[in-house]
A = this chain, B = another copy of it.
Amino acid sequence: MPRKVDHQERRTLIADALMRVAAEHGLEAVSLRHVAAEAGVSTGMVQHYFRTKDEMMTFAMGVVRDRSSARVSQAIAALGPDPEPRRLLRTLLVNLLPLGDESRADGRVALAFLAYTAVRPASTPALREDTEQMVGFIASLLPGGDSSAAAGVLALMEGLGMYLLGGQYSDDRALSTLDAHLDRLFGAAAR
């Protein structure tokens, strides 16, 4: 077996370039050549690691998803053992929101992918499952395990994300809106 390189590493390197292009110029600017140029490699190399453009896109989507979930679980782990439910939930949500410039860029990419896959419903089942799991987990944190309320928090968070990306809400406003909602769910007592 000749010349060995880390496949996964190369692929994520390319995916990173893709995300940079998408964040700056939108998904429609993502082409083999653009991505290759952004990554500082030849188009041939990109083709070597992804036989088709769609394969590249799919992989990049996976990277976005993994990064986000990694950020969340790291932030949650930092809370230490047995955190209060409200604190845990808030940490979860805050880390899913596109707050700050870097995170906002990620969010833009995610949004672009969402619009992209809205037409190609291939990945819908996976999305559905993810969401369902989320709802279940959130419900377990809420007083009474109210799963309808859980679906609400999640949707609220998603909407706040949209408005953050669209520039309609500021970071502060999104956070205070979120906290007001948590007050309502947990009873305004502890804040």
Chain A residues with CB under 8 Å of chain B are 23-28, 108, 111-112, 114-116, 118-121, 124, 127-128, 131-132, 148-149, 151-152, 154-163, 165-169, 173-174, 176-177, 180-181, 184-185
Contacts and interface: CB of A to CB of B under 8 A. Distances in A.
Contacts of A112: 115, 118
Per DSSP, are chain A's interface residues mostly helix, strand or loop, or mixed? helix
Listed residue (A27, A111, A119, A121) with the most chain B CB atoms within 10 angstroms of its CB: A119
A152 B148 contact: no
Contacts of A127: 166-168
A119 B115 CA distance: 13
Contacts of A119: 23-26, 108
B148 A177 contact: yes
Given A25-B119, A28-B116, 12 more contacts: A23-B119, A27-B28, A111-B115, A114-B162, A115-B115, A148-B177, A152-B181, A154-B163, A155-B174, A157-B159, A158-B159, A158-B163
